[in-house]
Amino acid sequence: MIIWRGEGQLVENFYSSSCPNVESIVQQAVSTKFSQTFTTIPATLRLFFHDCFVEGCDGSIMISSPNSDAEKDAQDNLSLAGDGFDTVIKAKQAVEQACPGKVSCADILAIAARDVVVLAGGPSFNVELGRRDGLISQASLVAGNLPEPTFNLNQLSTIFAKNNLSQNDMIALSGAHTVGFSHCSRFSNRLYSFSSSSPVDPSLNPTYAQQLEAGCPQNVDPSIAVDLDPVTPQTFDNVYYQNLVAGKGLLASDQVLYTDPTSQPTIVDFANNPGDFNGAFIAAMRKLGRVGVKTGNDGQIRTDCTAFNS
């Protein structure tokens, strides 16, 4: 009997016989890492997104190269926090002890991304599984495939559409900025050099702009970071969208979602209806998890997430 599998050929119960406890093993490892540092949450979520947008959700972001030319070494990925990589590595080690050679790093990252959302108070959802680990990880393949903090709505929608994600999916996934932080250099132009007529971006709430200027003076240490959600930075909620309505989006690519009349109604909906946001976020995360996946005999099941099998 042939069981027809949907797009991407992923199924929720992929490991039901080969590694039945994989999700609880990963969850335990993620929970332990989270007890050590909150950064586990935004770092792991962002790692999943960056993995999926380059070569698909195939664990290619995890590869370490002695020549510093792997995907993780690209300019756009240098700010990925080490805690995300460590979360996946620790989870993989625990899974290998129980089910050696069965579960891909790509799937472990997908499970961990769901687990951190739940740990931060966000919605739970079932993760589709069956991804294989990719065989390509090159820094040169990253440029142009990740959204930039300066993108407008059209640019954001275009880069998400390349990955089969709708504008609604893009707005919902942007809600991941309810946790995490950004470095001053990614938004300082909104404070000091927005335009010749206005150094400060007029879409910035003036009080918020003053707070940002205090936290990010010109020529500040580049390692200084600022919360993406200044109100509830450690809770996965819909306050990110309420902040946009109030002019408190940190990145230009956040605030544009409200200032552009095309997307504004969705922002208002998510700001007022957490259930609408949670539902859209779950649907978008499941779609994101199908991007460019390798299944069947493609790719491999890495033993060590940071290295291709020899």
Nearest 5°: the CA angle 48, 34, 176 is 40
Residue 229 assigned ligand-binding role: yes
Q: Which residue from 168, 177, 118, 113 is spatially nearest to 149, judged by alpha carbons?
A: 177
Phi first, then psi, for residue 196 (nearest 5°) are -65, -30
Tokens encoding 182: 């950004």
DSSP 8-state assignment for residue 54: T
Residue 147 assigned ligand-binding role: yes
Residue 183 annotated to the active site: no
Cα–Cα distances (Å) from 105 to 94, 153, 240, 251, 300, in that order, read 12, 32, 30, 31, 10
Residue 76 assigned ligand-binding role: no
Q: Helix (H, G, I), strand (E, B), or coil: what is residue 238?
A: coil
Residue 54 assigned ligand-binding role: yes
Residue 237 assigned ligand-binding role: yes
Residue 58 assigned ligand-binding role: yes
Residue 279 assigned ligand-binding role: no
Residue 56 assigned ligand-binding role: yes
Q: How far apart are CA 38 and CA 233, in angstroms?
A: 10
Identify the active-site residue in 46, 50, 114, 286: 50
Residue 265 assigned ligand-binding role: no
Annotated binding site for Ca(2+): 51, 54, 56, 58, 60, 71, 178, 229, 232, 237
Annotated binding site for substrate: 147
Annotated binding site: 51, 54, 56, 58, 60, 71, 147, 177-178, 229, 232, 237
Catalytic residues, by residue number, are 50
Annotated binding site for heme b: 177
